[in-house]
Amino acid sequence: MSVALVWFRRDLRLQDNPALQAALDAGHDVVPVYLHAPHEEGEWVPGAASDAWRHRSLGALDADLRTRGSSLVLRSGDSLPALQLLIGQTGAEAVYWNRKYEPATQARDATIKRTLREQGIDAQSCNGSLLFEPWDIATQQGQPYKVFTPYWRNVLSHWRLPTLSAAPKALTAHSVDGLALDELRLAPTLDWDSGFWEHWQPGEAGALEALSVFEDGALRGYREQRDLPDRVGTSRLSPHLHFGEIAPWRIAHALERLRSAGTDADIDGYLRQLGWRDFAYHLLHHFPKTPTDNLNPRFDRFPWATPTAAQLHDWQRGNTGVPIVDAGLRELWHTGYMHNRVRMIVASYLCKHLRAHWLQGARWFWDTLVDADLANNTMGWQWVAGTGADAAPYFRVFNPVSQAEKFDPQARYISRWVPELAALPVKARFAPWQHPLLLAAHAPGYPRTPLVDLAVGRDAALAAYRQTGAG
């Protein structure tokens, strides 16, 4: 029987796994492999929160493989020689993997595919993570899109979901040795991630459970409630999608089965979010410098400020004196996640009121989010900063107080994550500096004033914008 390596990367699942399925369809015995090579990710080596999740997800995948008679072979080091060594040890005739789209790994994977094929190995890559790959959708002129709405309109005109595939019931046993999971040193040594696992279950089973919870709960009313951070109004599928523990088309199939007059708008609203995810990869592929460079070059001359180390630390730890901003950053610190609406408010405060370069925020999110995704993280920060595709104009400065009043009207989200303010009357929790006596009496440890006065920060940002003619 011929042998194939299936190289798992960010596709940590057995069902709907095109690379695994292709290897089995070709009649190969499969040796499942994961190669730890963070140094090959260029400037964006996975952050600590991502590593903590990956540790558990790899453990879950190995357990799923063992119930089917196989196991996950873990190796570390440069990917090409690691694959070549495994080919020599197993006699493999083929290597299958699902594509990644980050600039550093795209170039690496192209080199690996070419080298293996030159050596007589059948090297095949598949689409395991997107509804539409970055090169599938183009303008009538054959150019990439920079605006989402026409991109999405084009996607819908080509809408066709891949068929679902079940996880294999059994896999051939192998005797290939590998590292123990702990040897990859992905899990934190100080257990700072313990709060994460009160909220998350990494792995394919956790992803399917999250989908089931979404179907039964937040889906109904999704369009209205997804912006409200005080309740579970979102799918909470983003980390599972990032690590490939579930295929986006499985989610889409599941939701399509629930279509009715009452759910149409909510389902369309969620599918549009999956579209935004594809769009982020479309941008990353066509504009590979955007993780560090403004997509809009006019912002290259914008006078970003340089916050002090103390200011940045206060922002990172949720000690800015602006409750909704602090709540978001404390949620992130405790759970590895932040509600999407709050992400926008937090990012706007950094880029507009503090006038810090969006990269300062992108790097922090990269290290602390369990769903840190280079495409989405880049697009989100450039969108808020006004420097990217389909971006909010820079002069659109979120007022964090009015945003909190609108999207957290009972201050429940604020009270949960900034509990020292819970003793204040609800109205005082949005802008406690306006109530100094109450603040001093009930929350003496909370900042008396924000890091920067909201009106002063906004006016300075707009003045900088006008001065450079960046728009």
Q: Model confidence over 200-224: pLDDT tens digits?
A: 999 999 999 999 999 999 999 998 8
What region, left, alpha or beta, does residue 69 occupy, with left being phi > 0 and alpha being psi -120 to 50 degrees?
Answer: left
Show Cβ contacts of residue 424 under 8 Å, excluding neighbours closer than 6 positions. Answer: 432, 435, 438, 439, 442, 443
- Burial of residue 262 (number of CB atoms within 10 Å: 0-12, 13-18, 19+): exposed
369 in the same domain as 304: yes
Calpha distance 33→103 (Å, rounded): 22
231 in the same domain as 156: yes
| pLDDT on residue 370 | 98
264 in the same domain as 122: no
User: Residues of the chain with pLDDT > 90: what percent?
Assistant: 93
In a domain, 375, yes or no: yes
What average pLDDT does range 8-27 have in this prediction? 98
pLDDT by residue (tens digit) across 111-157? 999 999 999 999 999 999 999 999 999 999 999 999 999 999 999 99
Here the tokens at position 470 are: 């960046």
What average pLDDT does range 317-335 have in this prediction? 98
CATH number where 308 lies: 1.10.579.10
| pLDDT on residue 146 | 94
Does residue 355 surpass a pLDDT of 90?
A: yes
Calpha distance 185→183 (Å, rounded): 5
| pLDDT on residue 422 | 96
In a domain, 223, yes or no: yes
pLDDT by residue (tens digit) across 422-441? 999 999 999 999 999 999 99
Domain boundary among 286, 319, 354: 286
448 in the same domain as 315: yes
Torsion sign, CA atoms 245, 247, 251, 257: negative
What average pLDDT does range 260-285 have in this prediction? 96
| pLDDT on residue 469 | 64
Here the tokens at position 305 are: 């400020």
| pLDDT on residue 2 | 97
53 in the same domain as 104: yes
Domain boundary among 252, 286, 320: 286
Question: Residue 9's pLDDT band (boundaries 50, 70, 90)?
Answer: very high
- Burial of residue 441 (number of CB atoms within 10 Å: 0-12, 13-18, 19+): exposed
| pLDDT on residue 298 | 87
In a domain, 393, yes or no: yes
Torsion sign, CA atoms 434, 436, 441, 443: positive
Calpha distance 124→441 (Å, rounded): 66
| pLDDT on residue 79 | 98
Does residue 471 surpass a pLDDT of 70?
A: no
Strand-by-strand arrangement of the 94-98 sheet? 73-76, 29-36, 3-8, 94-98, 122-126
302 in the same domain as 262: no
- Whole-angstrom CA distances from 332 to 226, 291, 384 are 17, 21, 18
Mean of the per-residue pLDDT values of the chain: 96
- Reference 278, options 135, 170, 410, 411; nearest CA is 135
Calpha distance 435→116 (Å, rounded): 68
| β-sheet bridge partners, residue 356 | 305
Question: Residue 175's pLDDT band (boundaries 50, 70, 90)?
Answer: very high
248: number of Cβ within 10 Å? 23
- Reference 370, options 403, 398, 332, 322; nearest CA is 332
321 in the same domain as 269: no
In a domain, 27, yes or no: yes
Calpha distance 415→399 (Å, rounded): 19
Does residue 58 surpass a pLDDT of 80?
A: yes
Domain boundary among 128, 149, 180: 128
Show Cβ contacts of residue 106 under 8 Å, excluding neighbours closer than 6 positions. Answer: 100, 285, 288
Phi, then psi, of 302 in degrees rounded to 5: -75, 135
Does residue 95 surpass a pLDDT of 50?
A: yes
In a domain, 186, yes or no: no
In a domain, 182, yes or no: no
156 in the same domain as 303: no
Give how many domains the chain has, as a whole number. Answer: 3
CATH number where 211 lies: 1.25.40.80
| pLDDT on residue 467 | 82
404 in the same domain as 317: yes
CATH number where 91 lies: 3.40.50.620
Does residue 394 surpass a pLDDT of 90?
A: no
Does residue 406 surpass a pLDDT of 60?
A: yes
376 in the same domain as 280: no
The identity of residue 403, as a single letter, is Q
364 in the same domain as 246: no
Domain that holds residue 270: 129-161+206-286
Strands 73-76 and 122-126: unpaired
Here the tokens at position 142 are: 């054959």
- Whole-angstrom CA distances from 123 to 41, 88, 320 are 21, 15, 51
138 in the same domain as 11: no
What average pLDDT does range 447-463 have in this prediction? 95
What average pLDDT does range 312-319 have in this prediction? 98
In a domain, 177, yes or no: no
In a domain, 59, yes or no: yes
